[in-house]
Structure formats: C-alpha cells, structure tokens
C-alpha cells in the first residue's frame, strides 16, 4: 500500500446520493481472480454506452477530469455490496480520496485497507464541493484537514489506527499477526 | 488498556445491563479496543465463495501464510455458478469462461489450503447465507463473517454476522481475527401482528422505507417486538438479510424456542451434552431488560402492507396498492424514475412486467417457494412473461421437489433451476434485458443490478407470484381474498 501524506488535486463531482458499489463497478466485472486493471471498468454503465462507446457528457469522461485524484459524491457513497473491487477500481483509475457527507461502512473499511482515503465532511462543505466541480483541494492526513481553494480548513475524522497505517503505508495483517499470543490464549479458553 | 475498555463499556451500557450485541462482542474480544487501536475480534465462522476470496488466497501465498483454523471456514460456489443442470451435472462446460475460471480457482485454493468446499456437485451446495443456517454451521452467539454484505442474514440466530471485504477475508484466513471498532446499537421494535398477505419481505422493506437506506450506517440493528417473535426462522432470515439495505452491517434477533427447534438435529449443530451446554449459553444471549440502545424506534406491524420498490435503491419503496410518490426539485429522484421509466403520482399496480425472479438469499428458502407455489397452483403465468424460480440451495431444491413444488412452477410456465445467486446479481448470465421490468424477490434494485439497463421491482414471493399470473404488478391480496 502506498503511504498517503498529502493529496493535492482538482475534484471530479458526481452529484448523486446513494451511489452504490454496483454503480462503481458492475457485478459482471467481478468474475476475475486478480485485483489489477479494474480502473477501466470503473462506473462502466455510466461511462460507456451499451455498445462500448464513451458517453462524453459523463463527468469522468470530460477533459477536465483527467488527472484528478479526488472524487466528490453525494450522501451515502459506496452503499450496497461489500465488493472490494470498488476501491480497487477507484484506485486503479487514479483516485486517492473520496469525499461525501456520508460513506457506507463496508466501503469505508475496504477503502482504508487499500490506501483510498474516505473523507466525510459536514453538509455545508459537502454542498459547496458538489457545486464547485474542479475545485483545487488539499488533503493533509497528518493534520486530518481538507483545505478548500479559499484557504478554509475543514477537519475530517479518520479512525486512528487506519490513519497510522495509511501514513506509513503499512497494512493491518502484520499487526494482527503480532497478536498471535493473545489469539492463542483466547483459542485455548474456547469451549470445544 | 483494561481500564479504558472498562470505561468504554460503562459508558455504553447502563450498569451491568447489556444488549445482545454487547454480550456477543465482549465474548469475542481477543484484545479490547483502545483509542489507538481497534479491538481484535475473534471470528467463529467464516464462509467464503468464489468471487471475493481469490485475491485473499493470493495474499496468503505472497506472504507464505497458512489458514490458521481451516475447520472454521466453509467454502461454496454460488455467485457465478450456472443454474442450468447440464452445466453442473451433465458434463456441459460452464458457458461463461471467466466464471469457470473463478470456480476452478476456488477449488484449487481450497485444496491447497485445506478448506472444506461444498463443490459444484455437492448436494449441500447453495447460497452461502442459505447453507450456513440449514447445515447448523450458523449458531447463536457466534461471530460470523463472509465476503458478502448479506452475511447479516445469520443475525437471525442471535449471531453477530457481517459482510467484509477481500482484504479482511485474508485476515480471517490467516489469523481467525478481524480489527473492528465497536459499532453503535439500534433497536427496531415492531409491535402488533402482520395482516394476511403481508410477509417478512414486506416487513423489512417497510422498515427500510422508514429508516432510509443510510439510516443504519454505523449501527448493529436488533429487531425486537411481538412481530419478530412470531416469525419463523426463515422469515427472520429474510428480515436480517436486508439489514445492509438500511446501511447496517449487521442485524440481530434474539434466539428463542423457534431458533432452538430449527437448529436441533441440523447436521453441524452440537449434539448431546454439547447441545445442552450450548443451549444454556444461548439462553443467556438476549438483551437484558432495560439495556440501553444508542437509538430506538417503534413501529406498528399491523399497519404494514404488501410492499414494492419503484426506484433504484431499496429505500424507494411503497405499498403495492399505492401511487408512486412525487417529489419536487429532486434531480436524483427524477433520475431514478427516468431510469425506471415510471411516472410520479401514478399507481404501481397494473405496471406490466417482463420477468419474474423468485429466489436469492433473501427469499430463496423452502417457505418462500411454498408461498409462491401456493399462489401459482392452478394458474398459468401471463403470456410473454418469463419466470425463473431458483432455489437457494440444493437442499431447498430437493425438499421442494419432494413436495411437488417444482411441478407447480413448471406447470405454471416457470423455469425451475439449480441453486445459486442467479438473477439477483446476474453474474452467471441469468440476466434481465435492458429496459425490461423484473419483479424480483431479491434484495437490490440498483441500476443494472440484474443486467445493464434492467429495471427491478423488489417484492415478496407472494407479490411476485401474483404479478406473474397477471403479467402486471398485482397486490397478492387480490388472490388471497378472492
């Protein structure tokens, strides 16, 4: 996992509430046994027509979206299926952070484990971002602040252990394995 | 560390009164949470399937790890598996090459890492959330996880069961544990009694309509009250299954005599003295009277009606007898109705349907098939309608055939298939064509869920069967009453 310190980028905006993981990556693309290369299927049914042609009006297909690392979306982003292919696809496409006024539990957990930063902001900040696609923002994970173009700094919550892992580019598995002694003790006390 | 966790417990409980969630959580804390680190939570039971596990096994291989407790993981094939008999039993190759490859990968992974697999031809195969309970692999008071958001189903037994991602699947395989922050608790009390024609599916759709699809985010739900107590285990599973459609990773119902009589004699449930010991433990799990929940609502079950969705998420739900809501200045709502090709203010009753799907981890159990068959008996599905009946497991299939339900479906003009997730998610090629309307007993009506451009109307097996007969959205009470 790539460590995250600071992300500075213009935003791409999807001004829809309740964007579910079936939209982020449709189920027919989950018949894979690797996590590589899912970016081309990101938002597939919104990005492409049924004949595979690019829909030029969709936000991700507009020229100004090129190179953007921050996605802004409406309330309750990432609801539905637990597929980790959703953050894999977002990361593979080039996103490093997702901002919404609410982010669904499983999606948030999956994102944090892969180096995609889920950022929940208050309603006025969320509204401003939705209304200003392309805004240049700076996300600082060390100070857990999101800086808007006018200099306003908005603090966002990140679970402390996840923040530690993201800052250092480490994953949780090593930590879990380091609790081996406690796990063994727990297992010995289990009733058969 | 201990002092902090004690303080946290005191803050979230009243005295020593505990919710069922708290009890199960605390019994599984290997290491309690601190401000700096989440709890290390022990996982009793782990279910895996072909879609969300391959990359987890890859991580084990890359790191030279083994599966710590293989006997606690059970694998099966459900999401991308064909439902055509010849592709499972007849030697005909699986039509979709990528699905065949994924299935072969699971077979290889399970053999290499010593995980039990209920393989394609096993008579115990089926949807993970159907087979766990029917085998007695799912038990009260356990922690149960699976790389599938409908793992909440197992909460019907008073287990703490939730969906996880693939990275977490790897963590559980390697350590039998997960890192988790303690969620909040949300009690949903449903008093009274359900009216005739109103099913567990209508109940949970009504609850989701009430709390909204993000209303349960951050919470573990506990369903309580007279209506929940009156439900069979299969009905309770339907309710808990859709907790995630309200945003909650888990939903629980306290175990009681209904639970115990369902589990007794299940092949993998404890036997003899172990059963008695387990029973004593299970009887201690219910929330203590007076235990405090972080949030609580109370609903009157007597007011619920047969429900159906009209939009592109399960919170966009209405009574079958009602009219589609109208909302001003809501572009997202307008976008959903445009996708569905439906008109605000119009009645949903009478809306033509092209496809009827009866099955899924929500409504693919024997009682679901019985209720659909009872309505279909002596009727034929409407001309031009395609109806697909997919049992939730091979055991459900066999039991249904033993009762002759398959004949009722086939005589009515429906297709009778092998078990699997099938048209709920469309990964195996069982899909709905673009623009077509599907009335489905599954759990998600997201855009494209049943195939690109497909328009899904979620409903109960009764409503789906009634609508199959008429070829239009139909209130099942039209049949029951007349």
Average pLDDT, chain A: 96
Full pLDDT tens readout for chain B, 482 residues: 333 444 444 444 456 999 999 999 999 999 999 999 999 999 999 999 999 999 999 999 999 999 999 999 999 999 999 999 999 999 999 999 999 999 999 999 999 999 999 999 999 999 999 999 999 999 999 999 999 999 999 999 999 999 999 999 999 999 999 999 999 999 999 999 999 999 999 999 999 999 999 999 999 999 999 999 999 999 999 999 999 999 999 999 999 999 999 999 999 999 999 999 999 999 999 999 999 999 999 999 999 999 999 999 999 999 999 999 999 999 999 999 999 999 999 999 999 999 999 999 999 999 999 999 999 999 999 999 999 999 999 999 999 999 999 999 999 999 999 999 999 999 999 999 999 999 999 999 999 999 999 999 999 999 999 999 999 999 999 998 75
Chain A, window 131-170: residues with a beta carbon less than 8 angstroms from a chain B beta carbon: 159-161, 164
CA-CA distance, B482 to B478, in Å (whole number)?
6
- Contacts for A31 with CB less than 8 Å, ≥ 6 apart: B51, B80, B96, B98, B99, B101, B102, B427
Reported as a single tens digit per residue, the pLDDT across B325-342 is: 999 999 999 999 999 999
- Look up residue B14 and give its DSSP letter: B
Strands A145-147 and A153-155: antiparallel
Inter-chain residue contact B335 with A16, CB threshold 8 Å: yes
- Contacts for B334 with CB less than 8 Å, ≥ 6 apart: none
Q: Where do we find the tokens 């049992």?
A: B391
Query: From the CA of B70, how many Å to the nearest CA of chain A?
Result: 14
Residues B462/B440, Cβ–Cβ less than 8 Å: no
Query: From the CA of A167, how many Å to the nearest CA of chain B?
Result: 14
Q: What is the helix (H) or strand (E) element at residue B178, kind and residue range?
A: strand B177-180
CA-CA distance, B266 to A98, in Å (whole number)?
45
Q: Chain B: residue nearest A181 by CA? A: B30
Q: Report how many Cβ contacts below 8 Å link chain A to chain B.
A: 176
Task: Give me the pLDDT at residue B482, please.
Answer: 55
Task: Give me the pLDDT at residue A190, please.
Answer: 86
Distances (CA, A) of B274 to B27, B131, B139, B279, B282: 18, 22, 13, 8, 12
Inter-chain residue contact A179 with B427, CB threshold 8 Å: no
pLDDT band at A2 (very low <50, low <70, confident <90, very high): confident
Query: From the CA of B219, how many Å to the nearest CA of chain A?
Result: 9
Q: How many CB atoms are located within 10 Å of the residue B8 CB?
A: 16
Of B166, B174, B217, the CB nearest to A177: B174
Contact residues, chain A, for B31 at CB < 8 Å: 179, 182
Contact residues, chain B, for A16 at CB < 8 Å: 332, 335
Contact residues, chain B, for A90 at CB < 8 Å: none
- Best of A18, A47, A107 to substitute, by most chain B Cβ atoms within 10 angstroms, is A18
Reported as a single tens digit per residue, the pLDDT across A54-100 is: 999 999 999 999 999 999 999 999 999 999 999 999 999 999 999 99
Q: Where do we find the tokens 């009243």?
A: B14
Phi and psi dihedrals of B472, rounded to 5?
-145, 155
Phi and psi dihedrals of B220, rounded to 5?
-105, 125
Question: Which residue blocks in A31-136 are alpha helix, DSSP H?
Answer: 44-47, 85-93, 105-112, 123-131
∠B58-B60-B64 over CA atoms, to 5°? 120
């Amino acid at each position: 996992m790539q460590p995250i310190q600071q992300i500075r980028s213009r935003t791409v905006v999807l001004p829809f509430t309740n964007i579910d993981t079936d939209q982020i990556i449709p189920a027919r693309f989950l018949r894979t046994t690797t996590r590589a290369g899912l970016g081309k299927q990101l938002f597939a049914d919104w990005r492409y027509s049924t004949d595979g042609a690019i829909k030029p009006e969709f936000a991700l297909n507009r020229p100004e979206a090129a190179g953007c690392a921050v996605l802004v979306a409406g309330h309750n982003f990432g609801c539905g299926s637990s597929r980790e292919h959703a953050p894999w696809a977002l990361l593979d496409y080039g996103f490093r952070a997702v901002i919404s006024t609410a982010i669904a539990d499983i999606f948030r957990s999956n994102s944090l484990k892969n180096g995609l930063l889920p950022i929940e902001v208050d309603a006025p900040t969320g509204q401003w971002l939705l209304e200003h696609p392309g805004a240049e923002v700076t996300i600082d994970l060390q100070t857990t602040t999101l800086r808007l173009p006018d200099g306003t700094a908005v603090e966002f919550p990140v679970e402390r252990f996840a923040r530690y892992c993201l800052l250092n580019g480490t994953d949780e598995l090593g930590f879990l394995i380091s609790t081996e002694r406690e796990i063994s003790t727990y297992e010995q006390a289990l009733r058969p | 560390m201990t002092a902090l966790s004690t303080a946290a417990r005191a803050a979230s409980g009243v005295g020593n009164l505990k919710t069922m969630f708290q009890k199960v959580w605390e019994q599984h804390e290997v290491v309690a949470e601190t401000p700096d680190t989440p709890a290390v939570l022990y996982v009793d039971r782990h279910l895996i399937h072909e879609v969300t596990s391959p990359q987890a096994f890859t991580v084990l291989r890359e790191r030279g790890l083994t599966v710590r407790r293989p006997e606690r993981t059970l694998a099966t094939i459900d999401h991308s598996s064909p439902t055509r008999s010849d592709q499972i039993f007849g030697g005909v190759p699986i039509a979709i090459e990528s699905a065949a490859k994924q299935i072969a990968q699971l077979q290889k992974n399970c053999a290499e890492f010593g995980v039990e697999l209920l393989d394609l031809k096993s008579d115990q195969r089926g949807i993970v959330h159907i087979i766990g309970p029917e085998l007695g692999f799912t038990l009260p008071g356990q922690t149960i996880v699976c790389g599938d958001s409908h793992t909440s189903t197992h909460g019907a037994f008073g287990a703490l069961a939730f969906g996880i991602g693939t990275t977490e699947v790897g963590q559980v395989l390697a350590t039998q544990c997960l890192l988790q922050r303690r969620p909040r608790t949300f009690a949903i009390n449903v008093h009274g009694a359900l009216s005739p024609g109103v099913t567990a599916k209508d109940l949970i759709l009504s609850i989701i309509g009430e709390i909204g699809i993000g209303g349960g985010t951050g919470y573990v739900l506990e369903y309580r009250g007279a209506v929940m107590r009156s439900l069979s285990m299969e009905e309770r599973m339907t309710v808990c299954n859709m907790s995630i459609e309200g945003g909650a990773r888990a939903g629980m119902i306290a175990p009681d005599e209904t639970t115990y009589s369902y589990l007794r004699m299940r092949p993998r449930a404890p036997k003899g003295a172990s059963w008695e010991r387990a029973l004593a433990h299970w009887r201690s799990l219910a929330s203590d009277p007076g235990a405090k929940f972080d949030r609580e609502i109370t609903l009157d079950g007597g007011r619920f009606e047969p429900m159906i969705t009209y939009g592109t998420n399960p919170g966009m739900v209405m009574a079958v007898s009602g009219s589609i809501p109208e909302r001003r200045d809501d572009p997202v709502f307008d976008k959903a109705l445009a996708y569905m090709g439906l008109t605000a203010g119009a009645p949903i009753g009478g809306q033509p349907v092209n496809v009827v799907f009866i099955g899924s981890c929500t409504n693919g159990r024997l009682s679901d098939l019985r209720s659909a068959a009872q309505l279909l008996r002596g009727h034929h599905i409407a001309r031009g309608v395609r109806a697909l009946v997919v049992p939730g497991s091979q055991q459900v299939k066999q039991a249904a055939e033993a009762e002759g339900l398959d004949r009722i479906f086939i005589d009515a003009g429906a297709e009778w298939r092998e078990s699997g997730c099938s048209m709920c998610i469309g990964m195996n090629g069982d899909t709905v064509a673009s623009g077509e309307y599907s009335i489905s007993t599954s759990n998600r009506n997201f855009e494209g869920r049943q195939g690109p451009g497909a328009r899904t109307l979620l409903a109960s097996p009764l409503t789906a069967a009634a609508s199959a007969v008429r070829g239009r959205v139909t209130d099942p009470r039209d049949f029951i009453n007349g």
